Amino acid sequence: MTEPPKGYDRTIRLRDGRVVTIRPLTRQDAPELGEAIRTADPVTLRRRFCGTAPRVTPRLLERLTALDYQRRFALVARSFADRGVAIARYEATRTPGVAEIAVAVDPAWRRAGLASALVRLLGEAALARGFDRFTAVYFADNRPVAELLDDAGGCQVIAEGLAEAEVLLSEAQSTSAW
């Protein structure tokens, strides 16, 4: 098993004053991740999976948590009550230098800057691993994701209700607020 990389454990204060810890996702997070998927509200699941959520199985949880931290990298944000409240990941695409990104934030933790912080940290990790662009596919009516990507300077194309965005990564973006 690949060990999670050092240097990505952070404690951050969100805009609303709450504090979270962020660290690389590991296989030990699988049970809690499975429960989060099973109990998430339908809107969150639809937005995250662009449709119906997959059935939670041991194979799915293995796929989501067995990371090489190079081509597949994920971070989890935890409250001080030690509960997972957000996850963000990237996965390399077939195009060299490009990784697809996905973020899910518990509804009670949205609009406080958590998704932006996670994407910024993923950007740091991606740049260090040779990626120069993130892409994301999402429902065109998902305003929070569209706003997040707009703030990052993303270009989006909308077709048949789906949006695809691309964000060029730079050292300046990874160290500034998105």
Q: What is the pLDDT of residues 94-128, one digit of tens each?
A: 999 999 998 889 989 999 999 999 999 999 999 99
Q: Please indicate, yes or no, if residue 16 is contained in any of the structural domains.
A: yes
CATH of the domain at 31: 3.40.630.30
Give the model's pLDDT for residue 43: 78
Give the model's pLDDT for residue 177: 41
Q: How far is CA 142 from the centre of its chain?
A: 15
Q: Report how far apart, in Å, the C-alpha atoms of 63 and of each of 23, 28, 34, 128 are.
A: 18, 13, 12, 23
> 71: closest CA among 95, 37, 50, 48?
95
Give the model's pLDDT for residue 86: 94
Q: Please indicate, yes or no, if residue 1 is contained in any of the structural domains.
A: no
Give the model's pLDDT for residue 63: 92
**Span 42-83, pLDDT tens digits:** 877 777 776 677 788 999 999 999 999 999 999 999 998 889
Distance CA 49, CA 156 (A): 18
Q: Please indicate, yes or no, if residue 2 is contained in any of the structural domains.
A: no
Q: Please indicate, yes or no, if residue 5 is contained in any of the structural domains.
A: no
Enclosing domain of residue 30: 10-175
Q: Please indicate, yes or no, if residue 4 is contained in any of the structural domains.
A: no
Q: Please indicate, yes or no, if residue 52 is contained in any of the structural domains.
A: yes
Give the model's pLDDT for residue 156: 67
Burial class of 8 by CB neighbour count within 10 A (0 to 12, 13 to 18, 19+): middle
Name which residue leads in pLDDT, 150 or 65. 65
Q: Please indicate, yes or no, if residue 157 is contained in any of the structural domains.
A: yes
Distance CA 60, CA 85 (A): 20
Count the domains in the chain: 1
Average pLDDT of the segment spanning 157-178: 68
Q: What are the beta bridge partners of residue 105? A: 86
Give the model's pLDDT for residue 54: 77
Average pLDDT of the segment spanning 15-38: 94
Name which residue leads in pLDDT, 141 or 10. 10
Q: Please indicate, yes or no, if residue 71 is contained in any of the structural domains.
A: yes
